Amino acid sequence: MALTDAKIRALKPRDKAYKASDFGGLYIYVTPKGSKLWRLKYRNNGKEGKLSFGPYPDVSLKDARQLRDEAKANLKKGQNPAEIKREEKAEQLGQYEHTFNKIADGFVEKLTKEGRSPATLSKLKWLLEDARRDFGRLPITAITAPMILKTLRKREKLEHYETASRMRSRIGGVFRYAVASGITDNDPTYALRDALIRPTVTHRAAITDKETLAELLKSIEAYTGHRETVIALKLLMQFACRPGEVRKARWDEIDFEKRVWQLPANRMKMGKPHAIPLPDNALALLAELRELTGWGALLFPSQLCSKKPMSENTMNQALVRMGFKKSEVTPHGFRSTFSTLANESGLWNPDAIEVYCARLDRNATRRAYNRSLYWDERVKIAEWWADVLAKLR
């Protein structure tokens, strides 16, 4: 006789487990502890098999019968329902093993092995934090464009338009890594390209005319703050590198005899080592600086902790105290000052100027060739630029 809900509820536990049959091989298995479990007994190719559908009442009588009918239908097609269930379970488990967080971990590990700088990796991890928090535990195949957009909108509400744009790009990087790994076949961030508010492009303030540059150089020379700050600004102008590269410079990177500053890959934005030629004026400044800070590892240690580099605001604040607004000049803008005047001179190969500034050529083969090809020219550029600055000062 077929089961009903009333009959199932009336089933009581016994000393030993027992069965209460419905029909078509479906039955309730009652344990001594009172659990009521749906099971299906069937035969496939002459062999008996069993299938579990879950506990009652989580799985209702109606649902259990539907699952039985689906299993019977698969049997008629020559498919073993137990194998189908194992495959579905494995697929579901596989989905949850491939969560966004785990794929993001793999993506970060890949970039780490490629030699990306600690600063770049730190920025990447920060840009992925919101995504990890909002949908990081979900299978990457279950994450949709609207879900990602909801996360990015939080940044837009704070008017962090540039951050939102960069977050979309980095999240897309994780998805493209998953696509390349065969985990998913879709990058939902592609559909969001026109959904975000475009950030206003603001260029670093820089001086590009010699008259104003002369005024700046004289102001730096007359600055009455810490001498280390003056030297940092002078070297930054000479080297046309990024402020962080000067602030974090170490004495073991400076070779006075070979007249070169060797920056390791892990401190470069592009993750590649970079060599900077040292003209006479730079060597003189470094010799003076060695008397001030040569006792430690860093060229420009913090005034508060010698193991940490000079604050990123030190040079900015010095320029402000000299009377220059941030809209007029910034330390990072020194690169544009050099690049503009070097190109305007017409004396140097534009590619050599780019390499001098440690800007990465997108063509890997050409980049490797140019770094060696332009060294002699970069040495000459360094001496020329030192002469230009000296005359203007």
100-192 placed in CATH 3.90.260.10 = no
Which of the two residues, 360 and 352, has the higher pLDDT score? 352
Confidence of residue 366 (pLDDT cuts 50, 70, 90): very low
- Average pLDDT in the 316-342 region? 87
Answer whether residue 365 shows pLDDT above 50. no
Confidence grade of residue 360 (pLDDT, cut at 50, 70, 90): low
CATH fold of the domain at 5-94: Double Stranded RNA Binding Domain (3.30.160)
Cite the residue boundaries of each domain of the chain with CATH code 3.30.160.390: 5-94
List where CATH 1.10.443.10 sits in the chain: 210-392
What's the CA gap between 32 and 29, in Å, rounded? 10
What is the pLDDT confidence band of residue 168, given thresholds at 50, 70 and 90? very high
pLDDT band (50, 70, 90) for residue 204: low
Interval 52-71 mean pLDDT: 89
Q: Tell me what pLDDT residue 364 has.
A: 46
Across residues 319-335, what is the average pLDDT?
85
Q: Residue 249's closest CA among 238, 171, 383?
A: 238
Q: What's the chain's average pLDDT?
A: 86
Q: What integer is the mean pLDDT of 253-272?
A: 86
Residue 125 has pLDDT above 80, yes or no: yes
| Mean pLDDT within 139-162 | 89
Residue 366 vs residue 140, higher pLDDT: 140
And the tokens for 103? 């794929």
Give domain 210-392's CATH number out of 1.10.3720.10, 1.10.287.70, 1.10.443.10, 3.30.70.360. 1.10.443.10
